[in-house]
Structure 1
Amino acid sequence: MNAAIAGFGAGPVVRLLKKYIRFARGADDLTVAEKVYAIAGFLGIVTTFLLIMSIQTVRLQNSYRNMQASSAAAAINSGLVNASIYAIVMDSRGIYMSTERAKVKEFADGILKRNHELAEVMKGWEPTVRSEDFEQFAALKRRIAQFIDFRQELVRRALDISPAAAREFGDTEASSTVRSRLNADLEALQRGYNERIREADGLAEQNRYAAWYLFMLGLAALVLAALNVLVIRDSVLARLLDIAQATDRITTGDIRSEVPHLRRQDEIGRLARGVRNFRDAVAQVFELEQLEFDLSKQRDAAMAERDAFNDKYQVKKWQLSAAINSMPQGLIMLDGKASVIAMNSKYCRMYNLPETIKSGSSLEEILLHRVASGLFSGDIKAYLSAILVRIAKREPAAYEIMLNDGRIVKIFERPMDGGGWVSVQEDVTEQRQKERILERTERLLATVVENVREGIIAKDARSLRYLFINKAAEQQIGMSRSDLVGKTARELFSPETAELIEKRDQQLLAQSQQLEPIVDTIYNPVRGRQVISWRRLQIGSHGEDSHMFVSMIEDLSDQVGTAA
């Protein structure tokens, strides 16, 4: 492998080294690229060392910070554990010395509270423990658990039995042993953290040396960068300025202008020779100027035609926008990807959309704004998926939705030619409210009419066919409303009775209303001879669909028979 490298690359490398040596002695036969590459190579080496030292410095800093953080957390938690243990021991002594149950209860509550605090401190300490300290920490954790269990039992005896029983339980060798071992575990763990603090100090010293190395490497990189700037300025920029000035003279028409640095063998020389070729080509440019002038005239004509077409397009666009914005309904058009093609101002006001949402925005942006403003609470992804499916299938749809603010919006969706989707949306809240009010009114009216004692009959004034008969009228006539509705008097009664009813209809047409009761005798095919008293009203007028006769009938047959 070494032989291959020597055979293939030794010659060019040696020649390049010789050129660099001659350049150092004062010769100027290096190309610009060779000069820049040499400086860049040295700069790359320095930068590599700088990167390595930076990584090492960062590693040292991270190790230092981790050690400091874990040691500080251990010191804080160790202090909290000692303080909690001391407070629990003091409360235990309070139990031993108390004779009143209230005082015993107060100290017992303090022990339970601090037991909980001690357990929480250990719980918060555990995530910060390093792996090498975990065994010691586990031993300490077990001691703490024994200490807490012991104090829990002491509290139980003090409350359930007596303070003396608690004192007897607490003043034992087991209690002293748990406490002494707990202190020993804390001291052992603390010694380990103290050793880590000394290691962190050593890392800090190493970090200072690394910082000096970084400074020196950075200074070397700065020197190489300055050297690179000098080489670029003297070998490239000054020469390029000469060539640029020659190029400016050529572009102004001075085709006899001399081009400098033609004899150089580096990139500057090649550029100079290229400028010379450019100068020779300028003459040909003059020949093309007339052709360019003709093409310019044609281009101007095409641009004028384009501008005229654009003006017509803008007018049509304005007219379409005005028509859309004049609609009383909200309108939105989407393309096949649910992006907004157009929407009118009514739609924006309906959902209180900001000015940032416009043509080009997505339907998802609109839904997100509606969620933020409380006007949409559904699943946005599912809603968009359903819209895209309907767009793909070109399925029209019509439905109503209720917004979270109580408004009801009726939506008509239709596919557009060429793909896409248009939705016309109308706020029908007031209409639906009126319909509900009308429905309640009709229900109330029907209930009242059905339960009055008088018979009530409604008849179409044009066809004279019965439209409505209440329950009282059914009982008076003796026929069900299914037998009466849709028929005329001549289809139900004898000719004499039918003529009398039609005569009263003509009188009502002339008078508009007959509020005074009229008593007539009729012959009912079911009830026979009947004496009735009726008052009549005319609703609407001639030519209206709602033109009706309303009769309020009272059967007087029984009264007349009793009087006779």
Structure 2
Amino acid sequence: MQAVLRRFTNSLPSFDLNDKISAAAAGFAVLVMLSTLGALSALREQRLFYDRLEALAAASRNIERANATIYAVVMESRGIYMSADRNVARRYADSLLAKLRQLTKIVEEWEALLPADDAATFAPFRQRIDQFVAFRTEMARRTISVGSSAARELGDNDENRAVRTALNEDLETLSQLYADRIRELGEAADARGMVAFYLGGLGLLIIVLIAAAALALRWGVLMPLLDIARVTDRIAAGRIKLKIPHARRHDEIGHVAHAVETYQDNVFRLQELEEHEIEIERQHAVILRQHERLEQGALSSQQRLDAAVANMAQGLIMLDSFCYVLMVNDQYRALYGLPASIARPGTHMRDILAHRARQGLLREKPADFLASLRERIREGKPAISEFELGDGRIIRVCERPMDGGGWIATHEDFTTQRRNERILARAEYFLAALLENIPQAVVAKDAQSLRYVFVNHAAEKLFGLPRAQIIGRAARELFPEPTGELLESFDRAHLDEVGDETPKAHSIDTPGNGKRDVVVRRLPVTVGEGQPKYLLSIVEDHTQDQRAAA
């Protein structure tokens, strides 16, 4: 299932992740809107269904009540016909009037709830009810005022029976009408059941799509981000030569992977700079130890001390804990243009600083510089610092406390060294720019492991791989067999002085650029004396020339 989801995610068009998520959200919104509209429509239809069902049920009840009441009126009328006693007939007449009032109330309630469509059907029935009530009311009145014989004379005729028969037919017609409507309502209920089935299917489809979207989000977004995060943690832990996953994607995940790839390259360069800085600090430490040995040797003998101070290349000044000069050499005076009358033992440091300020060789105020010096003497911590004089020279100062109090410092003109470093940096930049822009592929390998330590832009194009995937790897790890093994065998033969230094033609299978015809010139690079440390290869791509000749 996971592999299927990954293939599905990779098969999607190369849209941005934001576009994919927005499209999925829009699709879900449309489905939810359709489901909501369907549910609201079904709810409205259900409400109408129950309203109609309740109206039909009420109409059916009214038919039954009216029919029962009419039957009771007829029975009371028969009681009047059959009563010989006038008092008994009056009781039947009173009961008959009560039943007629009840029948009138039932019909009025029925008519109040009657829809407009049934008014035409109900009108004849209401007219016959009115005739029936009027006739029976007159019968009861005559029974009460005259007697049962008068009521019998009024009611025992064909006209009365015809009204009664027509009334029964009206009730049967209305009953059949409501029965047909209940049947139609049942059929409509069955149809609404299908609608509910479709709505349930739509809801199930929404659930399935949400589950699929969640899985696609997990395997298409969350898991790739976790993979990139794990690689980033390993890079931060010190493993700076790793393959960055998902770097070939063209969406936001791919952008993140490219950013991590760039971060990895920067970490590699930063590590090189740190190693270079450590080497410089080691050299400084060696110089400091040499200074310490000189100082210790000088303190053992005044004569040796004077000789050392007079002949050392750096300017030296020694102060007591109150900043009075104990010793100063000529190199220090020459460095700052100080006359011997000012820079001599017993002079306070503020006089020397005041003279330097007048000469424009002190950027700070003398009082501020003296306060900072006293603070360093009080803390008693060795320090190395550099500062620039007003005339542009750069002075390197090494300070350290003396046993028993006091302070000693050496001042050295570091202008030439710093200028040479800047020249060297510009030369290195020029060389790197030159190598990056020549048309031939230039690669450098470690002479021991034969792993790539440098490739230029032309080499990236020739190999068909970015520089981050080449540096730190050997040819057998990059090129398909047997190209990688052959290239390493030629390299080792050249390093062992088995082969000559003439350019060699090879036909190689590159990792990402297919088969190429190249001419390689190999040059061992020796740092100092001894075995070669690097193997420099200049590769010319003659594929187009070979194909044109063919």
**TM-score class normalised by the smaller sequence:** 0.3 to 0.5
Q: Pick the structure with greater CA Rg.
A: 2
TM-score, with normalisation over the residues of structure 2? 0.42
TM-score where L is the length of structure 1: 0.41
